[in-house]
Structure 1
């Protein structure tokens, strides 16, 4: 039986929420995550609180019922994106024993969905990947905060288990995107573009091709490719535009790395999302059937745009 878009969105959110929860638990008990045990708890609490507060303000402004007061299933689907944002920020940021940078990333990520939106065809869409933009803001504000070291995903496992972990993440993420999010064209565009920028840099600079391609073999790249860049709410839906989005992210990444910008994956995605927002805004001005408003209010009957993880 074919699922409706809302059913696929709900299934994707719940599967991703379960996946990131399992990975976090295994990370802190088996794999070798180095953040404090309370970090994901505090981050999720901050993200959910921000979601409820901002939704309350918007609902009061629009004179509608807050979505966290609906049926249990609908409430779960409403809160899951914020939950995923908090978990993703807690997993990917490393601020030693301090919680506030991760809390700030979680709150900024959730707030970005309410502050920066594009209204297209009467529907309000957020345009910045929540988890990613929260992480980028913290990296820019605090020079001593970094991305969690990729080795922590396999730090406590030895032998072939070190290869099994990214393999499982790759298979699970690919199945999720193939069956529910429909973002396989975007993944192919991103991976193909990443290989292309690596080849160009190897041909025209002094970097070796092996060094330029090496990040693609790591767990961090697998997570970014299957669970970060494929956010349904902030990426195109058509196959052609998905490929273009993936290629554009790879090009921006290559430019940033060439200029020695660290954490290029996250900055590249934020820049590409921002550029896409500009393109949508310009197109809306030229097309009479599109209207743009940033920020914009949702009506009570208007469904939430699809969002995914972190």
Structure 2
């Protein structure tokens, strides 16, 4: 009788890329590569390198300051990729670095236990926009490519939404967002300079899809239960559309998401708080 062959364990890096975080990282890299290949110059790659290097150095400094071991932070890389994918190529590199530092600083300073209050990338991008008026192009959302390229964004986003189990959240956000914009367009509600029709066209529609798939789905700052995912998405979309209707501009998606993050934190206030240094078993009777 022959013995069954032993299963060879997979390398850790292969196991990582099969996790939800791995899927998000791969999807962002693929979109960045596709958008970068068809760009006229190397500025996109410089954005990615600057934000990624800043993120890894910042995380290393924070780890040393907290007397922790320095490791490759994939969460920081995801935050850096989102920031570099959103900012315009004309953004000065020092502002790219500063935006990344603000984003990661918010993750470590504004948190409850191990979970941050706000999506780090959204927080950093909003602060950078309000304080330094940094331009945005959402170039990795394929906004600068022909309109049919949005299919690539949809495929990558759907894979991520299913893998992180946030597809209900994404559908609720997109359904609410586009429905409200359509109602505004039908009843001619909004600003003359930033009309609902503008938000339904490229590049604004690309930014909404990118936000839905890669920022609204952030597990640490969004609800885990489907019961809370739907109201969360409705809040995010409604606030974003309301801000767009009243003020226009580029901050409406970030503000909507951060308000939703605040609602998630408020809803979790009754759950037992586990300090970062305290094992979960301590809460058991």
Q: Give the TM-score normalised by structure 2.
A: 0.79
- Encode CA deviations 1:29-73: one digit per residue, 9 max, x unaligned: 214578454221111111111112212323x2xxxx5262xxxxx
- Structure 2 residue corresponding to 1:175, chosen from 155, 159, 168: 159
Residues of 1 paired with 2:79 and 2:143: CA distance? Answer: 23
**Paired residues of 1:33 and 1:152 also in contact (CA < 8 A):** no
- Structure 1 residue corresponding to 2:111, chosen from 117, 134, 142: 117
Residues of 1 paired with 2:45 and 2:70: CA distance? Answer: 31
Query: 1:308: which partner in 2?
Result: none
SS at match of 1:38: helix
Distance change (3 Å), C-alpha of 1:299 and 1:152: closer
- Structure 2 residue corresponding to 1:259, chosen from 227, 235, 246: 246
Distance change (3 Å), C-alpha of 1:118 and 1:154: closer
Residues of 1 paired with 2:199 and 2:105: CA distance? Answer: 35
SS at match of 1:96: coil
- Encode CA deviations 1:104-153: one digit per residue, 9 max, x unaligned: 1111111212111124xxxx32121111111011001112x121166983
After superposition, residues 1-310 of structure 1 pair within 5 angstroms as: 11-31=19-39, 35=43, 37-58=45-66, 60=67, 65-66=68-69, 68=71, 75=72, 79-94=73-88, 96=90, 98-119=92-113, 124-143=114-133, 145-148=134-137, 153=142, 155=144, 162-178=146-162, 180-202=163-185, 205-207=188-190, 210-211=197-198, 213-214=200-201, 218-263=205-250, 264-280=252-268, 283-284=269-270, 290-291=272-273, 298-299=276-277
Tell me which of the two structures has the higher relative contact order, counting C-alpha pairs closer than 8 angstroms and 6 or more residues apart. Answer: 1
> Which blocks of at least 5 consecutive residues in structure 1 are unaligned?
1-6, 69-74, 303-310
> Which blocks of at least 5 consecutive residues in structure 2 are unaligned?
1-14, 281-285
**Paired residues of 1:181 and 1:232 also in contact (CA < 8 A):** yes
Distance change (3 Å), C-alpha of 1:33 and 1:126: farther
Q: Give the TM-score normalised by structure 1.
A: 0.73
Count how many residue pairs are aligned between Structure 1 and Structure 2. Answer: 261
